[in-house]
Amino acid sequence: MEQRGDRGLIRILVHSEDRNTAGLLAASIERFFCNNNTKYKILISLEAANALNYAKKSDIAFVDIDMHGGGLDLLSGMKQANPRILLIVAAETAQDLDDAIKVGVLGYLPKPLSSRKIHKDLEYALREHYRRPQSVVATSERRTLRIPIHEIVYVTTENRKTRVRTLRDSLLCDETLTQWQEMLAGQHFTLSHTSFLVNLEHVAGFDKTRVAVRLPGGQTETVHMSQRKYYAFKEAFLEFSKSAP
């Protein structure tokens, strides 16, 4: 289920082991968006394994869980898969809420579910999403820079520092590759090699030895792909391609 409009695509995960509950949540979310210009895509999961996979590429998740049946582990796993995901939990009791708060949920839906409450929590989650910075702060040659995330093509190691290739420039930054991974968590960046972190939005093609990335003016550049990283990179790229607008 996808709708197009004027704003950036919002990916919303709906998870419930009960198909009717998942359908109710998805339908309510569709009604919320029917009178605005937000681009959105709803991903529906009926199994925990799928929820963990979809969480990697979702901005907001509505999760119907049994906290005593592995629900807390599922929420924790989703947060580990994507630290930036905004979780809204549907559960039975106040104790469930207390348990969910430990994981860092944004909202709580008491049962029976109410469209009014779903819409209220979704509106709040969207505000939180749009308030988040769309850039990262890094240090280069004693200067503090704010770099738009969508302009970063790849990050690679260089002499105990990192080289950041953007659509406009090539910057030598003080941050380590591990720090870049943390800063860009949930932003569609994947390792093609132990020393290359690639933005999937700029990938033109790849094989088991290299990745071609797009640059302005129709140009491309090649970065390394290791065989050890190839299959994980391929899976991440295919999942990204499915959800791309």
Residue 108 has pLDDT above 60, yes or no: yes
Instruction: Encode pLDDT of 185-222 as tens digits.
Output: 877 899 999 999 999 989 999 999 999 999 988 899 99
Q: Which CATH architecture has domain 135-243?
A: Beta Barrel (2.40)
Tell me: the pLDDT tens digits for 148-181? 888 999 999 999 999 999 998 999 999 999 999 9
Sign of the dihedral defined by the CA atoms of residues 146, 148, 151, 154, in that order: positive
Which stretches of the chain are DSSP H helices?
19-33, 48-55, 72-81, 94-101, 115-131, 177-183, 227-243
In this predicted structure, what is the pLDDT of residue 206?
95
Q: What single-letter amino acid sits at 83? A: P
d(CA 22, CA 29): 11
Q: What confidence tier does 243 reach under pLDDT thresholds 50, 70, 90?
A: low
To which CATH superfamily is domain 2-131 assigned?
A: Response regulator (3.40.50.2300)
- Domain 2-131 matches domain 135-243 at the CATH topology level: no
Domain ranges of the chain: 2-131, 135-243
Indicate the pTM of the whole model. Answer: 0.59
What are the tens digits of pLDDT across the range 57-88?
899 999 998 655 678 889 988 988 887 789 99
